[in-house]
Structure 1
Amino acid sequence: MIRLFKHYIPYPVLFLGLLDLCLLAFAAEMSWVLRASQIGMDAGTIYDRPGPIFSFALALEIALIAVGVYGTEALQSLRFAAARIIVAISLAIIFLSILAFTLPGITLWRSISLYAMLSSIFLLMAVRVILGTILDMSVFKRRILILGSGTRANRIAKLSRKPESGFIVSGFVSMNEGPAIVKTAIKRSEIDDLPQHVIDLGVSEVVLALEERRNSLPVADLLTIKTTGVHVNDMSSFLERETGRVDLDSVNPSWFIFSDGFSSGRRLSTVFKRSFDIVLSLLLLIFTGPIVLLFAALIKMESRGGAFFKQERVGLYGQKFNILKLRSMRADAEVSGKAVWASENDPRITKIGRFIRKVRIDELPQAWSVLTGEMSFVGPRPERPQFVDDLQTKMPFYAERHMVKPGITGWAQINYPYGASIEDSRHKLEYDLYYAKNYTPFLDILILLQTIRVVLWPEGAR
């Protein structure tokens, strides 16, 4: 993986994304030349039209990212990829049409756009067929050696067998730490020279997955391995990089203290984030106002009670605030006043409510909380005080998720289905901690783009 703005991107995804960007620019240029030849016009060179060519390529590349073309499912299934590519191109064409109206001359002509769109679909699918046929994707995967043979090592072994895994385990070394669960592990006593063993295997990384480090950590060997250019990593940092979440089963307070992240020197990023929140929340309130009012009227028609409701949530540094949402449940959903988790096919949800939850329309009024500064567009989901009090006693590091502003969408929301239990909250906390630890404007933009995918394909919405 390559680390870009503190966020890890797999090499195959980066390679395919750059290749797609080049193919999109090529499709736009060839379409321009083709159309020019049809009408008897001098095509000139690509240097005469950088704006139209690259606005087309960039708009389509952003749309590909937004709808999840580089996600696991699309990378494994051509049918899945084809569906997402068509949706992405459709969205990009709509955006380019708006851009052509506001900035004439910056986009392709409509006739050229049609040619470019069709050729883009063909090229993007063709390259996926060719790569899938002739290229062994394992060449992009890193080879690692695991020091350990217990439960932790076995967890990494299982992770390596997943199709989306970005690494291959070249071997395990049992470090005299107790019973070996990984039966293929080689005993440390059978290896004369551990650094030479690492070199012979040709690995690029050694991962410490020891159950107990006392009397098992080969400090001298690890120092030699490190000086040969092989990366040495502990299990917690390794899992953070590979899964995009902080693994609560392997971290401890010292890891949070000594690992990078939670940087206080991001004042410029904070200013950017707040400015972005103000502009986007104003635009959202203006342009979605009619939609919110329409569904507010439908909610009033369907069931008794107000169309909107306020609910107390926990925000930055544990401070409480009220969010405004469209009502999606019956007015008597919590008669006793006690907070209750929403469940799948919850009978309290109305027909209109079920729809607005799936497409996230019920969340739109929260833009007001973003405008007032109580929330951000991107951040951990704000929870109710009753849930927070309960969860803080049941899982470690829960309070750390409140070190950043809560958001309408977030890293957990796009990576994990709607949480409606303690176990769901634990998984989502791992993603929230990753976001709080690794926040950058780049990650915010990535999350906002991926939110489009969640809206279009609302898996797990309740």
Structure 2
Amino acid sequence: MSRPLRTSERRLALLVGDGLAVTVAVLLALWTWSLTAGFPFGPTFLRARAVWLLAIPLWLTLLVPTRDAGIALDLERTVGGVARAAGALLLVYLAAFFYTGGANLPRLVALYILWDATLLLFGWRLVALWSLTRAPFSRRVLVAGAGPALLTAFDVLRDPSFRDAQIVGVATAAAPRNEFHAGTGWKVPIVGRPDEVDELTGRLNVTDLVVALEGRGDEVDEHWVQRLIRCQESGTHVVRMAQLYEDTLRRVPVAHVEPSWLLTNFFDVSPFREASPLAKRLFDVWVATLLGAVGLILLPFIAVAILLEAGRPVFYRQPRLGRSGRLFSMIKFRTMKNDAEPDGQPQWSTPGDPRVTRIGRLLRRTRLDELPNLLAVLRGEMSMVGPRPERPQIVERLEREVPLYRARLVVAPGLTGWAQVNWAYGDSVEDAVTKLEYDLYYIKHQSIWFDAAILLRTVGTMLWLRGR
């Protein structure tokens, strides 16, 4: 029996399909151009017009969010994601067209690429959506465990990415009932005990076994490990709840990882990763320089708007904690009224905060208030992408209340970050925990490509005024 695709395999399959669709669209558009212009289509023609091939990696980067299973299994969200990617690519083309004067960038070719790629992507994604929700790709899931980890496992299984999955039962010894209450209105049959998982997976034709154990250590005895090995040998995909949480939600479950997780994921890493800080630094300087040129054009207009509404000062300085807990001065365009914190105590901003000025609200929604921080990026105090820097008083408080909170200081803070593009502005400890989960995921998986994808999503936030 063919086994269902795992989360990473689904993303890879979608990436390959997207790549084929976009590549065919670009080549088809260039072939049409060669026919209408009377040029022979071949390697020489393609080399002379290689700039158009950049559309392929741009498309694939812009489509990164749509390869999350929760979006890939939702037709409406997939259509919206492809449409937004096409719109962003159109803006990139227009910028290049006006910058170069249109040399070798015919508008008709750009329209061909956008039209062909959009149609092919829609067609491919419809096929993918139909296929992923049917056998042999649909999943039968058994959850084994007890305690808070078991409840968290079902929180993850509510994600739209499991729309194709059937939860066949729970293996737990913690409840002497026939049903497990997995949440509001959700009752799942208890089919056995955790020490019966090898027999249960065969009898119930289970494709995925989620191991959700009590305690942060996830300790099991040798006999149970042998049962899990037999499940894996029989073709069942065995996954720990913490890993399922991370793969599905793209966050690290802070409440369910032990402190030694830091040793494995932050400190005990391959020496081949030592080159990545240099690459990231070069990337930061390059992007900050480009954006700084745009910022110099906007600076006088923003400054005048702030002066007219709120008076001086135009800029706002505040001490923040950077990498390794080092203090630095963060500079932003002022978005609040003077004396926003009369008692000197840090306060989280809230929705509709009356302290925020009208121009400040616009600057926050477009993220333009962050432009002065490009200087901090050039100085090396900040990065373009990373956890958002917090004030020392807030860090001191959250360190006492949130496990692993200080771990976010192992990298440079960013102008934007994985938490910022996925979560609204936090104004509570609970929000801080969720943002930390996103930050730890970013730190674990950071790469130049991940940074580029986050920056592109930030551009979408700016264009659609979704900042806060």
User: TM-score when scaled to structure 2?
Assistant: 0.83
Whether contact under 8 Å (1:325, 1:362) holds in the other structure is: yes
Q: Which amino acid in the other structure matches residue 293 of structure 2? A: I
Aligned residue in 1 for 2:422: 415
Corresponding position: 1:210 with 2:213: yes
Deviation at 1:389, TM superposition (A): 1.2
Shift of 1:356: 0.5
| Residue in 1 that maps onto 2:118 | 121
Where does residue 192 of structure 2 map in the other structure? Answer: 187
Change (3 A) 1:139 1:150: farther
Structure 2 CA distance for aligned equivalents of residues 357 and 262 of structure 1:
38
Q: Kindly provide the amino acid, as one letter, of the partner of residue 334 in structure 2.
A: R
CA deviation after TM superposition for structure 1 residue 224, in Å: 3.6
Cα shift at 1:259: 5.8
Moved more, 97-106 or 383-392: 97-106
Matched, 1:54 2:59: no
Distance of 1:135 and 1:167 partners within structure 2: 7
Q: 1:326-363 CA distances to partner (integer Å, 9 max, x unpaired)?
A: 00000121122211110000000000000010010001
1:242 to 230, 244, 248: 248
Q: For residue 254 of structure 1, what is the amino acid of its counterpart?
A: S
Match of 1:349 in 2: 356
Are the counterparts in 2 of residues 328 and 349 from structure 1 also a CA contact under 8 Å?
A: yes
Equivalences for residues 52-451 of structure 1 within 5 A: 54-65=53-64, 68-70=65-67, 75=72, 78=75, 80-96=77-93, 99=96, 109-132=106-129, 136=133, 139-140=136-137, 143-148=140-145, 150-165=147-162, 168=165, 171-179=168-176, 181=180, 183-188=188-193, 191=196, 194-203=197-206, 205-211=208-214, 218-226=224-232, 230-258=236-264, 263=269, 265=271, 266-451=273-458
Q: Is the 8 A contact 1:21 1:61 kept in 2?
A: yes
1:81-121 deviation line (CA, Å, top 9, x unaligned):
44543443243234345556888999663322223322333
Shift of 1:300: 0.8
Read off the aligned partner of 1:61 and give its amino acid letter. L
Number of matched residues?
449
Aligned to 1:32: 30
Partner in structure 2 of residue 4 of structure 1? none
**Matches of 2:70 and 2:258, distance apart in 1:** 33
Change over 3 Å in CA distance of 1:164–1:73 after alignment to 2: closer
Provide the rounded CA distance (Å) in 1 between the counterparts of 2:75 and 2:211.
37
Tell me the distance in 1 between the aligned counterparts of 2:59 and 2:161. Answer: 24
Cα distance, 1:262–1:288 mapped onto 2, change above 3 Å:
farther
Higher relative contact order (CA 8 A, sep 6+): 1
Q: Secondary structure at the match of 1:184?
A: strand
State the identity %: 31
Matching residue within 17, 41, 46 for 1:44: 41
Distance verdict in 2 for CA 1:106–1:138, change over 3 Å: farther
Counterpart AA for 1:307: V
Which residue type is aligned with residue 187 of structure 1? G
Return the alpha-carbon distance in structure 2 between the equivalents of residues 205 and 369 of structure 1. 47
Q: CA deviation at 1:319?
A: 1.5
CA-to-aligned-CA distance 1:242-274 (integer Å, 9 cap, x gap): 221111221222344456876373210011111
Q: Which one-letter code corresponds to 2:193 in the other structure?
A: R
* SS of the residue 2:330 aligns to: strand
How far off is 1:281 after superposition?
1.7
Looking at structure 2, the residues matched to 366 and 290 of structure 1 have their Cα atoms a distance apart, in angstroms, of 16
The one-letter code matched in structure 1 to 2:211 is L
- Amino acid corresponding to residue 191 of structure 2 in structure 1: I
Give the aligned partner of residue 3 of structure 1.
Answer: none
- Name whichever of 407-416 and 226-235 sits farther off: 226-235
CA–CA separation in structure 1 for the residues paired with 2:240 and 2:68 = 26
Structure 1, unpaired ranges of 5+ = 1-7
Give the Cα–Cα distance (whole angstroms) in 1 for the partners of residues 60 and 423 of structure 2.
Answer: 24
Q: 1:153 to 1:346 in 2, by over 3 A?
A: same
Contact 1:326 1:363 in 2 (8 A): yes
Residue 184 of structure 2: aligned partner = none
The amino acid of 2:54's aligned partner reads S
- Taking the aligned partners of 2:30 and 2:194, their CA distance within structure 1 comes to 67
The question of whether the paired residues in 2 share the 8 Å contact of 1:262 and 1:437 is answered with no
Query: Contact 2:138–2:164 at 8 Å: present in 1 too?
Result: yes
CA deviation after TM superposition for structure 1 residue 196, in Å = 4.6
Task: Give, in whole Å, the separation in 2 of the partners of 1:54 and 1:376.
Answer: 29
SS at match of 2:30: helix
TM-score (norm: length of structure 1): 0.84
Superposed CA offset, 1:49-76 (max 9, x none): 16255233333333344xx444577546
Give, in angstroms, the shift of residue 322 of structure 1: 0.7
- 1:262 and 1:438 in contact (8 A); partners too: no
